[in-house]
Structure 1
């Protein structure tokens, strides 16, 4: 069983990182399509370079804070009981492991980009990112919490979106000059963040489908199989609406960015070369 803040907090991090990646991917491509390369992270411009690594700090700090919430606050520091991990909080320990992977990815990327201690090529960082998403995928696929019924349906959709993040990260390492791949990375992370939000508002907030309730603070149950099917159909519609909204927003951002950030001199030189 999850909670509203337990979905909103990671959802906010994924949404912020994903939306920023989409924006930067489009701006970098329209600025110079010929030299475009896929990036695992994007620097924040301006402020004399003081915010350059803000995205990585968000991943590190956000992952660490969420890790502390899951491992320390949610367990009330009752981590070990009778010499073993507290069985009442196994889901929190599993979440902590996933968040630890994101924290490690952020730290490794910072060390690679800011120091000479761990110089890694961009492709290696993409494979580390894919390993991080894989840990998240396996967590939700083999969760100790029995996600059944409507709750299980929402988490199965989440697993699919995490799988898309894995594939796009691997593609980023294998096809380092592809704009569609770079854009897919941002879109998949954005969709994952939005689906965390959708799950929070639907299962633990005001959008619970009619006929379905949280019983004994443990499980979401529907009054009839028909109501459960109705909830699953609603989830399908919500996913479609989110995908449609994200793709429409991407198209709008491209239309906005193209005339503002494109460089006519590069377009003209490319056209001359083709002629």
Structure 2
């Protein structure tokens, strides 16, 4: 069982990074579509380069802080009991392991781009990012906390979104000039952040479906019909978020094309349309 803050904090990090990825890859594409390359991270322009690596610092520092909360604060520093890991907080230790992978990704990427100690190609960095999302996928799929009923359904949809993140990043690794793969990656990360928030508001906040309630550490519904209605509501919520992220991407593209669009963009799109005809 989780908590509102336990879902809102990682949701904020995923949402910020995902929206930034969406905007950045669209700006890079409209600026120079022919030389577009997939990037696993996107530098922040301006400010004399002082904020260039802000995204990587957000990932590394955010993951480290959240990892410390899960590993140290949540179990109240009682990590070992009778020589073994505290069985009452196994889910916190699992979360900290997942966050460690994202911290490693942020730290390794910073070392790669800022120093000469660990120069890695973009494809290798993409694989490290995919490994971090894979650890998240395995965590939620084989969680020691038994997610059942309505809670399990929300986490099942979360697992599907994590799977899309993995697939899109791997696609970008295999096809390093694929704009759709890069765009899908940003959208999937943003959707994952939104779904963390949705789960927090539904299971631990004011949006609990009628007929279901939080009882102790479990979500219980008074009937099968109430649970089914809650699952159908989850489907509708996910559809609304997908539609919202797609609308945001279209709005970003329209604005970026008007402000940063390269002269070759229109001719490239016209040539692609003629090829389809």
Distance of aligned partners of 1:149 and 1:78 in 2 relative to their CA distance in 1, 3 Å threshold: same
**TM-superposed deviation, 1:172:** 1.0
Residue of structure 2 equivalent to 1:127: 127
**TM-superposed deviation, 1:257:** 1.0
2:138 is the counterpart of 1:138: yes
| Distance (whole Å) between structure 1 residues aligned to residue 130 and residue 214 of structure 2 | 34
Aligned length: 273
| Distance (whole Å) between structure 2 residues aligned to residue 268 and residue 153 of structure 1 | 44
Distance of aligned partners of 1:184 and 1:269 in 2 relative to their CA distance in 1, 3 Å threshold: closer
Residue of structure 1 equivalent to 2:99: 99
Moved over 4 A (4+): 267-271
| Distance (whole Å) between structure 1 residues aligned to residue 35 and residue 139 of structure 2 | 38
3-state DSSP of counterpart to 1:214:
strand
Q: What's the TM-score, normalizing by structure 1?
A: 0.96
| Distance (whole Å) between structure 2 residues aligned to residue 257 and residue 135 of structure 1 | 34
**TM-superposed deviation, 1:239:** 0.4
| Distance (whole Å) between structure 1 residues aligned to residue 170 and residue 116 of structure 2 | 25
Distance of aligned partners of 1:219 and 1:262 in 2 relative to their CA distance in 1, 3 Å threshold: same
Distance of aligned partners of 1:144 and 1:21 in 2 relative to their CA distance in 1, 3 Å threshold: same
| Distance (whole Å) between structure 2 residues aligned to residue 119 and residue 20 of structure 1 | 24
Residue of structure 1 equivalent to 2:255: 256
Q: What per-residue deviation string (whole Å, max 9, x for no partner) do you get for residues 99-153 of structure 1? A: 0000001011001111111010000111111111000000000000010000000
| Distance (whole Å) between structure 2 residues aligned to residue 12 and residue 263 of structure 1 | 33
State the superposition RMSD in angstroms: 1.7
Residue of structure 2 equivalent to 1:41: 41
Q: Gaps (5+ residues) in structure 1? A: none
| Distance (whole Å) between structure 2 residues aligned to residue 187 and residue 125 of structure 1 | 19
Residue of structure 2 equivalent to 1:228: 227
**TM-superposed deviation, 1:249:** 1.0
**TM-superposed deviation, 1:269:** 8.4
3-state DSSP of counterpart to 1:198:
helix
Residue of structure 1 equivalent to 2:69: 69
3-state DSSP of counterpart to 1:92:
helix
3-state DSSP of counterpart to 2:176:
coil
**Matches for 1:112-261 after TM superposition, within 5 Å:** 112-216=112-216, 218-261=217-260
**TM-superposed deviation, 1:64:** 0.3
**TM-superposed deviation, 1:263:** 2.2
Q: Gaps (5+ residues) in structure 2? A: 273-277
Distance of aligned partners of 1:263 and 1:84 in 2 relative to their CA distance in 1, 3 Å threshold: same
Residue of structure 1 equivalent to 2:6: 6
Residue of structure 2 equivalent to 1:108: 108
2:33 is the counterpart of 1:20: no
